[in-house]
Chains A and B, each alone.
Chain A
């Protein structure tokens, strides 16, 4: 099926883009948001590969809890990453 192949290509391209952005940004809020988008797309990729239980675990732990814990950590420290 050509449509499924194209869809998987687009998801994997978005995964690579957001994974690069999450290490490139200096604003740590933007990094956390980019990592959240990465986790959403990884969950969609598991879903396309027909593993819905792994997709539930990835959505709950990765997208929900991890981003919230990152935000709590950023609230306790600095928002901007300082240049060495």
Chain B
């Protein structure tokens, strides 16, 4: 059971590495890609933690999260495109 927590810890370490790109990124699209990467990694680590805690209801949280969280990325990308 501890190996799942180790896997989730490694995923969170990758989130920290993506935060470095959000710090250093010179332009806004770099930071947007870092946001999207962190989004995907958070969904993956939520599913891994759902396996680690042995709870089925936690997987539904990850599904709702994956459905809702792309809206922010969509709005920022639409702004950076320069549309109306």
Residues of chain A whose beta carbon lies under 8 Å from any beta carbon of chain B: 1, 3-4, 6-7, 10-11, 13-14, 17-18, 21, 27, 29-30, 32-34, 36-37, 40-41, 43-44, 47-48, 50, 52, 55-56, 59-60, 63-65, 67-68, 71-72, 74-75
Contacts and interface: CB of A to CB of B under 8 A. Distances in A.
A33 B35 contact: yes
Main SS at interface, chain B:
helix
Contacts, number: 112
Main SS at interface, chain A:
helix
Interface in B45-84: 45-46, 49, 53, 57-58, 61, 64-65, 68-69, 71-72, 75-76, 79-80
